[in-house]
Amino acid sequence: MRKVLQTSPLLWLLLLLTFAGVAKPGPADSPLGGQWRGELKVPGGSWELVITVIPLSNGTLYATLDVPKQKISRMPVKMEVKGTDVTMRIEEAASKFTGKLAGDGKKINGTWSQPSLTSALVLERTTGAVINAATFKPALPYREEEVVVPNKVAKLRLTGTLTMPQGKGPFPAVVLISDSGPQDRNVVVDNYRMFNILADYLTRRGVAVLRYDDRGVGKSTGSYQKATTTDLVSDAQAAMGFLRAHYKVDKTHVGMVGHGEGANVALLAAADKSAPNFVISLAGYGLPGAEVLRRQQVEIMRLIGANTQQVNSALQLHEQMLDIIRQTPNNDLARAKVAAMLRISNADIDFTMVQARATQLTSPWYRFFIDFDPQKQLRAVKCPVLALNGGADLLVAANRNLPVLQKELKAGGNKQVETYKLAGVNHWFQSERAEWPVVNGQLQPTFSPRALVLIHGWVAQNSAPPTSVAKSAPPLAKQVKSASKAPGGSTAQTKRAAR
């Protein structure tokens, strides 16, 4: 999709791949909820587009665009629905889709347009992953139940799924914490259900797992758009407290597994007095928030073919906007200034897109994140920490973030820190395509087997009685045959899968 997306590069200057799009109110049971696919014809071929639409409990629609062949994931989509007329605006790609929902609700017929390209496009509703299996579904080897987690601090309720191993227990347990943007409990990306896979793997091996819908998602109450990273810490702590109160859970061995921003939520919780017993960081940030956003912009602009001058111009404009946001505490005034700068920078940008972007950039989450420095809290973390980052992660560069995490955690005297760089693993911990299984003739993404082994190994290592750990538990690097040392003191995985 490089040729298609490289027009209007300034629209990429404020890219937040994992931040929620703004949508107008709609029914909670919107007929658009689900996943839609279509083939977009471009010069020299076609690209599969995947639109995921999630109705939120406050009546809005959260939507994202995936283009698997171009490694574009979770690009925010602004949706407008009037009767059967559907409009989708993808401002970062300077693109728009206008269509009409068919009477049977299974197709949206319309037109995709952007500078230098206009093409007919039909989006068809999908039913999820294609599988080749009998309709009979065997019983899971563990108990799975719907639960409600009260957060008394924030006065809200989180809905989730608790998976419990068979037997009397007590079992070690973990709470899964999602990346930024309103996510459901499974963290669905295309047909890949990241947290569902992780929870299944751990529970089959004797670990209780709690995963929950973020604020405002599903039946969870509260507003994600008004929450900062610090606010989300209280959600994770409430989930941890729920596990510790469960009669089948070993309350002395309850940890947190966080992904992306969720990893930093877990580390912030670990710096608190009511800390988890251990933490597993997946694609966690070591650099300050503003630097993370800046590097994400550089990577994505390079991906779409922007030249050095375009990248530098975009970054310069980005820094000017950050100064405006920091110096203007009044949100109405800050939004007006940001909107004006956006219009000056690109006269062709749609007014509604300008308003949507200005609202995002002055949100409580964004204001907090641009000045968020995780290093300030890492030295207060005393519990065991395992940090895993993917070598193919374009959003959180392993080479830059892992050494910082390791250095700052150990600087506080924490001697139980291990870091690993996983070769070929992306931000969503999908393994290399060569390792994906083929189902019905199609490759199906899967959670990195090497990462799963390391995650379970860390839980087991930090849940065993102290005497048995001292006698029998070698470092994880020795438990995973494919581990080898990488520059910067972290550990890299070779291409052999740890089975």
Where residue 212 sits, what CATH number does that domain have? 3.40.50.1820
- Inside any domain, residue 393: yes
Same domain, 281 and 221: yes
- For residues 129 and 11, what is the distance between their CA atoms, to the nearest angstrom? 32
Same domain, 146 and 120: no
Task: Note whether 437 and 425 are within 8 A (CB).
Answer: no
Question: How do residues 279-306 score in pLDDT, each as one tens digit?
Answer: 999 999 999 888 888 887 787 777 767 7
Residue type, 106: K
Same domain, 93 and 186: no
- Inside any domain, residue 82: yes
Same domain, 178 and 280: yes
Question: How do residues 206-238 score in pLDDT, each as one tens digit?
Answer: 999 999 999 999 999 999 988 999 999 999 999
- Inside any domain, residue 359: no
- Residue where a domain stops, chosen among 91, 126, 161: 126
Same domain, 90 and 214: no
Find the length of the chain. 499
Cα–Cα distances in Å, from 443 out to 70, 71, 161, 311, 423?
15, 15, 28, 34, 20
- For residues 285 and 398, what is the distance between their CA atoms, to the nearest angstrom? 9
The H-or-E segment that residue 123 falls in is strand 117-126
- For residues 19 and 17, what is the distance between their CA atoms, to the nearest angstrom? 6
DSSP-derived secondary structure for 162-231: EEEESSS--EEEEEEE--SS---TT-EETTEEHHHHHHHHHHTTT-EEEEEPPTTBTT--S-GGG--HHH
Question: How do residues 454-482 score in pLDDT, each as one tens digit?
Answer: 999 999 999 987 654 444 445 555 555 43
- Inside any domain, residue 92: yes
Same domain, 209 and 270: yes
Residue type, 2: R
- Inside any domain, residue 326: no
Same domain, 390 and 269: yes
Q: Which domain holds residue 248?
A: 142-288+372-493
Phi then psi for residue 169, to 5 deg, are 80, -160
Task: Note whether 238 and 256 are within 8 A (CB).
Answer: no
CB contact set of 182 (below 8 Å; sequence gap of 6+): 20, 54, 56, 62, 214, 215, 216, 217, 224, 225
Same domain, 260 and 390: yes
Task: Note whether 283 and 263 are within 8 A (CB).
Answer: yes
CB contact set of 167 (below 8 Å; sequence gap of 6+): none
Q: What is the pLDDT of residue 79?
A: 87
- Residue where a domain stops, chosen among 82, 99, 126: 126
Same domain, 265 and 379: yes
- Inside any domain, residue 203: yes
- Inside any domain, residue 8: yes
What are 488's two structure tokens?
């910067």
Q: What is the pLDDT of residue 111?
A: 93
- For residues 475 and 231, what is the distance between their CA atoms, to the nearest angstrom? 34
The DSSP secondary-structure symbol of 447 reads B
- For residues 453 and 269, what is the distance between their CA atoms, to the nearest angstrom? 24
Q: What pTM was estimated for this model as a whole?
A: 0.69
Same domain, 147 and 226: yes
- Inside any domain, residue 300: no
Task: Note whether 214 and 279 are within 8 A (CB).
Answer: no
Q: What is the 3-state secondary structure (H, E, C) of 242-302?
A: HHHCCCCEEEEEEEEEEECHHHHHHHHHHCCCCCCCEEEEECCCCCCHHHHHHHHHHHHHH
- For residues 484 and 6, what is the distance between their CA atoms, to the nearest angstrom? 38
Phi then psi for residue 158, to 5 deg, are -110, 130
Same domain, 393 and 263: yes
Same domain, 485 and 376: yes
What are 483's two structure tokens?
């581990």
Question: How do residues 334-382 score in pLDDT, each as one tens digit?
Answer: 889 888 888 777 766 777 778 888 888 888 888 988 888 888 899 999 9
Question: How do residues 75-97 score in pLDDT, each as one tens digit?
Answer: 788 888 888 999 998 876 778 99
Where residue 115 sits, what CATH number does that domain have? 2.40.128.120
Q: In the structure, how many helices (H) and strands (E) does the chain have?
A: 14, 22
DSSP-derived secondary structure for 32-46: T-EEEEEEEEETTEE
